[in-house]
Amino acid sequence: MIPNSDRDDSYSNERRRHLMEIALKRFAKDGYHPTKISDIVGEAGVAQGTFYWYFKSKEAVALEIVEDGRNQLLDVIAQGYRQDSGTVQDMVQASETLLCRLFLFAEANRHLMELLLGSMAASDTIRQAIGETRIAMENAFLLNIERAIELGMLPATIDAKLRSAFLMSLIEGVISRWLFATMLPGNGTQAKTAQQLASETARFEFFGLLGI
């Protein structure tokens, strides 16, 4: 009963992936509860029962989507900083590079980011999975900051944890405003490129409003 040919398998995987994509889009756009299984299978052009061949339940897809997303995101961040001392200018440049990579990923995965940043009011399990993803990101930034302090590139007087929270707040806010226009139309991020945003955000990150 278990298919063993490549053909069947990849066909199967395709369908699975297709359903997940649609589910992701709907969850992001309409929210978890308002999205009906019938919407998903309707858009996919398959029967209701088919959904349950690929996924255990509605919650299960949501969970899988979030966990997939987490891995992708952490991959993007994992390539980060890796700066070995250097000038302040180098540090700002490194941060800008990371932010740019992050923004590009977000741009290419709008729905995923909408899901992760919009904290859709689903079940506790899902909420938790989303929370963990954000914590993981924040931790990545925390490590970077701590390393920078060790290297003497950032003043030792600052609270690294709090600063990483500031950073994540900044990033989450910028991405939300940039990509989900419906949420906050007419804000200052809309027409920018990922590179521009990264540059400005990095500048603010290091120098604040008064910065150069």
Kindly list the residues in this chain that would bind DNA in the complex (CB under 7 A). Answer: 1-3, 8-9, 11-12, 15, 35-38, 46-54, 57-59
| From 177, 179, 194, 198, residue interacting with a copy of itself (rule: CB under 8 A) | 177
Residue 100 is encoded by which pair of tokens?
Answer: 């740019």
Among residues 17 and 155, whose Cβ is nearest to a copy of itself? 155
Is the Cβ of residue 54 or residue 166 nearer to DNA in the bound state?
54
151 forms part of the interface with a copy of itself (CB under 8 A): no
Which residue in the set 42, 108, 162, 193 belongs to the binding site for a copy of itself (CB under 8 A)?
162
Contact residues for 136 (Cβ-Cβ < 8 A; gap 6+) = 70, 73, 74
Q: Name the minimum Å distance from CB 84 to a copy of itself.
A: 18
How many C-beta atoms lie closer than 10 Å to residue 32's C-beta? Answer: 19
Q: Say whether residue 25 binds a copy of itself (CB under 8 A).
A: no
CB of 209 to DNA, least distance (A): 45
Q: Which entry of DNA, a copy of itself, none binds 86, CB below 5 to 8 A by partner kind?
A: none
Residue with the two structure tokens 């250097």: 86
145 binding a copy of itself? (CB under 8 A): yes
Range list of H helices, 79-193: 88-108, 110-117, 124-150, 160-179
